[in-house]
Amino acid sequence: MNDHILIATAYNSLVRIYVAKTNNLVETARNIHETWPTATAALGRLLTAGAMMSYMYDGDNDLSIKVEGDGPIGQMIVESNTVGELRAVIKNSAVYLKYNDSNKLAVGNAVGHGLLTVRRNPHLKNSFSSSVNLINGEIAEDLTYYFYLSEQTNSSVGLGVLVNEDQSVKQAGGFILQLLPGATEEVIIQIEKALEGITSVTDLFESGLDTRGILNKLAGGTEKILDEKPIRYFCGCSKDYYFEALKKLDNAVLDEMIDEDGGAEIICQYCKNKYHFSVDELHKIKSAR
Ligand code: ZN
């Protein structure tokens, strides 16, 4: 099953539901950033949320979601665009912590206390951001709180990443269920009933359900699928992009690259692609300003 997002309404169009399958997205991020299992789960949950949120807002809203915790992972940033392309950075990818009692990956401990910030149009002048405190660093609850506080939306968020023995991604996905204006107490009771038997998203995938099956469970059979959208890890950086970025550096810094380093090698922090700039090219950058 390829990665995708199902977008649906349910409960007489009073609820919006997103369901995500993100195995390839998270596995690609693991390979690029060489994440250890708990970092894979933390970044994978954030990527999965970002994938669903990339299709949540009307208009041209590129998004960045930043989690800055005081745990060993440090900062994570996920960026998405409106066609479901995502990229990410993680400060410390070598984190492998488990909870003693459950033997589950200790994402909350690895992330810690701190802030979650969602920024719309991060690369434009009219960018707009909103931050909330992390509730427990497990990402799903933190986002639920963000939707409630920043967007006045009641939601239920489930995010999960299951890792194989060899540390590759076995299952990754999630759901976001949001009450739309006019949702009644009766609908809330129905949703609570639907959510009752659900322990985790990865358990649902492991039991053999696909995204449609999970949607059906969340919607209590009332779902109407509106769309199915692709998602993938895609950076989109280029040598031209870094040419422009180098143009912004001071002469002293460029001169140092020319005189002392004999060129520059830039590694993209999102995709780890390497770009080499020769002394000639650095001179060209200096005179292009
Ligand atoms: Zn890149």
Residue 171 Cα to ligand 1 middle (Å): 25
Q: What's the pTM value of the predicted model, to 2 decimals?
A: 0.95
Residue 265 Cα to ligand 1 middle (Å): 13
Model confidence pLDDT, tens digit, residues 41-58 = 999 999 999 999 999 997
Residue 239 Cα to ligand 1 middle (Å): 10
Q: What is the CA radius of gyration of the chain?
A: 21
Amino acid at 62: D
Alpha helices, DSSP H, located in 92-176: 107-111, 140-151
Amino acid at 251: N
Residue 237 Cα to ligand 1 middle (Å): 4
Secondary structure class of 2 (helix, strand, coil): coil
Strands 128-133 and 114-120: antiparallel
Residue 270 Cα to ligand 1 middle (Å): 5
Cα 224 from Cα 215, distance rounded (Å) = 10
For residue 148, what are the CA distances in angstroms to 6, 141, 143, 144, 250? 22, 11, 8, 6, 43
Model confidence pLDDT, tens digit, residues 207-236 = 999 999 999 999 999 999 999 999 999 999
Residue 61 Cα to ligand 1 middle (Å): 20
Q: Which residue, chain included where needed, has tokens 């909350």?
A: 108
Q: Which residue, chain included where needed, has tokens 């933190």?
A: 142
Which portions of the chain are predicted below pLDDT 70? 1
Kindly tell me the sign of the dihedral angle through the C-alpha atoms of 69, 72, 75, 77.
negative
Residues in the chain: 289
For residues 139 and 159, the answer to whether their CB atoms sit within 8 Å is yes
Q: What is the pLDDT of residue 289?
A: 79
Mean pLDDT for all residues in the chain: 95
Rounded to a whole number of angstroms, the distance between the first and last alpha carbons of the chain is 48
Q: What is the pLDDT of residue 59?
A: 75
Cα 147 from Cα 70, distance rounded (Å) = 22
Express the helix, strand and coil content of the chain in percent, nearest 5 each: 35, 30, 35
Residue 262 Cα to ligand 1 middle (Å): 23
Residue 94 Cα to ligand 1 middle (Å): 21
